[in-house]
Structure 1
Amino acid sequence: MSSSIRFYSFFVLLGLLASCTKQPDLTGFDVEKFVQDEAGCQGSRMSQAAWLKSHKENLKGVSSNDIEDILGKPDIQQLADRNQEYYVYFLEKGPHCDKITNPSQAYCMAFRFSAIGLATEITFQNGLP
């Protein structure tokens, strides 16, 4: 097999794997409203917290790339042990609105992603995980 055929085969396989990621059902969730309320500083994300809590199981298994495509860039991204990472989305206004690096105990949603980039845990808490 020539190297160019192997090269193209690799990208076809990669494309097939990427297209097989879980896509969550977002019926009833206002994606645009969530994305526009950066860091929860305008107060509209909090109105969707109940929907997010009740549908968090539907968001497990979704890739970090897909979560970012849906919810926008996370307000805070943290690296964790064993190549895991957290995406934190603030749901309410707090000191982070003045400067994102300010310590904040504002209510937030945190996604924990496995080493392969799939959401394994979604928590809601005050402050960072």
Structure 2
Amino acid sequence: MKFFYILACLLLISCNQSEIDTQGFDLLTWKSDKKGCEGKRANLLADFEQKVKPKLEGLREIQVANLLGKADFAILAERNQKFYRYYIEEGEQCGKNKKARYVQIRFSALNIVNEVTVVYY
């Protein structure tokens, strides 16, 4: 019985990892630029690729949402995979007649990040 209690505690602790260290990345500005329509995320892209992107792989969906804010667009794909998109600049999602760059995060069927890509047009 004691073993199961300890195991349950360890599982809860591992699921509630402490806040991810983003080395001074401006998360407030990232989160405030919904759909990238204000162009603030474009100014953060180099920092994002260097300081945040390498730390996303292996995180759970809830951790990503807590870190980066609600995704601008989510896709449920085959085999229960999920994709989050965070737009970097204004485009069709803001009513403009152009495609926008975005960060795409792929989650496995277990809701764990297994790929982070910056999509350029």
- The TM-score, its normalising length taken from structure 2, stands at 0.82
Q: Which residue of 1 aligns with 2:15?
A: 18
Larger Rg: 1
Q: Which residue of 1 aligns with 2:66?
A: 69
CA distance in 1, matches of 2:6, 2:20: 29
SS of 2:111 mapped into structure 1:
coil
Q: Which residue of 1 aligns with 2:119?
A: 125
CA distance in 2, matches of 1:52, 1:63: 18
Runs of at least 5 residues in structure 1 that lack an aligned partner in the other structure: none
1:108 to 102, 107, 114: 102
Aligned pairs (5 A) from 1:50-61: 50-55=46-51, 56-61=53-58
Over the matched positions of the two proteins, sequence identity in percent amounts to 32
Q: 1:84 to 1:103 in 2, by over 3 A?
A: farther
Counterpart amino acid of residue 26 in structure 1? T
Pairs aligned (count): 118
Counterpart amino acid of residue 120 in structure 2? N
Runs of at least 5 residues in structure 2 that lack an aligned partner in the other structure: none
**1:97-118, Cα deviation, whole Å (9 max, x unpaired):** 13xxx99620000000011111
SS of 1:115 mapped into structure 2:
coil
Q: Which residue of 2 aligns with 1:39?
A: 35
